[in-house]
């Protein structure tokens, strides 16, 4: 059983290089099967979600080589259109392959995907959108079975601005003749990154980052070398860690615009945040003033993937904070673990009231999901005494061994 052992109370100081974004790399890997030619992705972190996607692609017939942080994909041999439940249950993002398989092989059989237990993430929006493209979809025995032989371009309106559905429809329509219009799209930076990647391969897509994306079908795509955007959630996590612990930390290779909502929140505390090109410097004296209200929203609003971490900061801030979770209905599960450390949190539905305490006390806690696990590490960094965070395989899904980055900044944390 892997775990983090943390002795809190140390300030953070130094630099951190931010790697490619998990939430960008996974759909880019899914999109790699849209061509027979070689795809090279640079600056990819060594995280388990990327490993899981590689395993799935290899099961479909791709040949993949990892050279340090580069991933080289040869999908010329892709012939299998089925993703088994044994692989799909490990990775929510396996659903991205639905669109690319339908474009490549005109058929797909995908098991219902897994991922973090943070509430319902129905794929009804994906299915409804694909059906608008005249794709035949059957749901049988835990599988989604699709045939796109008769796919047609269409004007598709999403019920919600789902990131996954937006990306799936982009990839499923790249080879459909005519013009496909996707409305009420998600606007996340990762969608813009996917558009740039596909266009570099020869696709004709415009509008990513707005509520309307237009895809004009092409005959084929070619290989490309591509560097994904830096991970805004990892960057945000380390900014919050520094705000909590105090210190002076510089993040390198980061796009400040992608986390402007967090920077805006931190500017309301006693932190000093400086942005210069692809670097962010944060200076903190430690304990912050509570933020009155934090409400998660679709991009460019405050990201749900940073809600658990900002909650950890509020547990030791001066005053009371209200956190409203609008995206996932059970993303407050980590609150019960924070309480083991002495946090004062009251949950009612999608609202959490956090009364800051002067000091958390080290204890044994369990990570139940990716971002919640990260928040427990942050809490351990400021807790008095020893904190043990168990089940860190959840954290490994999105962070390349947090203990290495945090130790380099001066934290007392080790992995066992």
- Is pLDDT of 412 > 80? yes
Position 118 scores a pLDDT of 37
* Residues with catalytic function: 116
Interval 100-134: pLDDT, tens: 999 999 999 887 765 444 344 468 899 999 999 99
Q: What percent of the chain has pLDDT above 90?
A: 88
For residues 87 and 282, the model is more confident at 282
- Is pLDDT of 89 > 90? no
Mean pLDDT of 328-353: 93
Q: Predicted confidence band at 93 (pLDDT cuts at 50, 70, 90)?
A: low
Query: How is the chain split into domains, by residue range?
Result: 3-18+230-415, 22-226
Position 112 scores a pLDDT of 73
Give the CATH architecture of domain 22-226: Alpha-beta prism (3.65)
Position 171 scores a pLDDT of 97
Position 249 scores a pLDDT of 98
Interval 12-66: pLDDT, tens: 999 999 999 999 999 999 999 999 999 999 999 999 999 999 999 999 999 999 9
pTM: 0.95
Position 240 scores a pLDDT of 98
Among the ranges given (122-131, 175-184, 205-214, 316-325), the one the predictor scored with the smallest mean pLDDT:
122-131
Position 120 scores a pLDDT of 41
Position 122 scores a pLDDT of 63
- Is pLDDT of 143 > 90? no
Please give, one letter per residue, the 3-state secondary structure of the chain.
CCEEEEECCCCEEEEEECCECHHHHHHHHHHHHHCCCEEEECCCCCCHHHHHHHHHHHHHCCEEEEECCEEEEECCCCCCCEECHHHHCCCHHHHHHHHHHHHHHCEEEEECCCCCCCCCCCCHHHHHHHHHCCCEEEEECCEEEEECCCCCCCEEECCCCCHHHHHHHHHHCCCCCCEEEEECCCCCHHHHHHHHHHHHCCCEEECECECEEEEECCCCCCCEEECCCECHHHHHHHHHHHHHHCEEEEEECCCHHHHHHHHHHHCCCCCEEEEECCEEEEEECCCCECCCEEEECCCCCECHHHHHHHHHHHCCCECEEEEECCCCCCCCCCHHHHHHCCCEEEEECCEEEEECCCCCECCEEECCCHHHHHHHHHHHHHCECEEEEECCCCHHHCCCCHHHHHHHCCCEEEEC
Position 116 scores a pLDDT of 44
| Domain 3-18+230-415: homologous superfamily in CATH | Enolpyruvate transferase domain (3.65.10.10)
Position 114 scores a pLDDT of 52
Q: Predicted confidence band at 330 (pLDDT cuts at 50, 70, 90)?
A: confident
């Amino acid at each position: 059983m892997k775990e983090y052992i943390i002795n809190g109370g140390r300030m953070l100081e130094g630099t951190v290089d931010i790697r490619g974004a998990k939430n960008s790399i996974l759909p880019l890997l899914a999109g790699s099967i849209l061509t027979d030619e070689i795809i090279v992705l640079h600056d990819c972190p060594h995280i388990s979600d990327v490993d899981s996607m590689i395993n799935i692609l290899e099961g479909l017939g791709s040949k993949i080589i990892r050279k340090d942080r580069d991933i080289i994909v040869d999908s010329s041999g892709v012939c299998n259109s089925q993703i088994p439940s044994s692989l799909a249950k490990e990775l929510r993002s396996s659903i991205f392959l639905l669109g690319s398989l339908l474009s490549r092989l005109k058929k797909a059989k995908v098991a219902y995907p897994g991922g973090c237990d943070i509430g319902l993430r129905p794929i009804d929006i994906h299915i409804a959108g694909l059906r608008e493209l005249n794709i035949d979809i059957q749901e049988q025995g835990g599988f989604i079975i699709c045939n796109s032989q008769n796919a047609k371009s269409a004007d598709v309106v999403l019920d919600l601005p789902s990131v996954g559905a937006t990306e799936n429809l982009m990839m499923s329509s790249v080879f459909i003749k005519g013009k496909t219009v996707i409305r009420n799209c998600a606007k996340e930076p990762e969608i813009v990154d996917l558009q740039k990647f596909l266009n570099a391969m020869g696709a004709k897509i415009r509008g990513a980052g707005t509520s309307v994306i237009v895809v004009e079908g092409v005959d084929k795509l070619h290989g490309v070398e591509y560097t994904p955007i830096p991970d805004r959630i990892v960057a945000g996590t380390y900014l919050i860690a520094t705000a909590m612990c105090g210190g002076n930390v510089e993040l390198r290779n980061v796009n400040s615009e992608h986390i402007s909502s967090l920077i805006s929140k931190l500017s309301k505390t006693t932190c000093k945040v400086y942005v210069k090109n692809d670097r962010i410097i944060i200076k903190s004296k430690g304990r912050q003033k509570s933020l009155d209200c934090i409400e998660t929203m679709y991009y460019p609003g405050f990201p749900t993937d940073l809600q658990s971490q900002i909650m950890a900061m509020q547990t030791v801030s001066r005053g009371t904070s209200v956190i409203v979770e609008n995206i996932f209905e059970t993303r407050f599960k980590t609150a019960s673990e924070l309480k083991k450390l002495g946090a004062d949190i009251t949950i009612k539905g999608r609202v959490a009231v956090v009364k800051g305490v002067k000091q958390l006390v080290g204890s044994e806690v369990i990570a139940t999901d990716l971002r919640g696990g990260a928040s427990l590490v942050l809490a351990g960094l400021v807790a008095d005494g020893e904190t043990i965070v168990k089940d860190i395989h959840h954290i490994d899904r999105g962070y390349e061994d947090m203990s290495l980055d945090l130790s380099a900044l001066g934290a007392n944390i080790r992995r066992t």
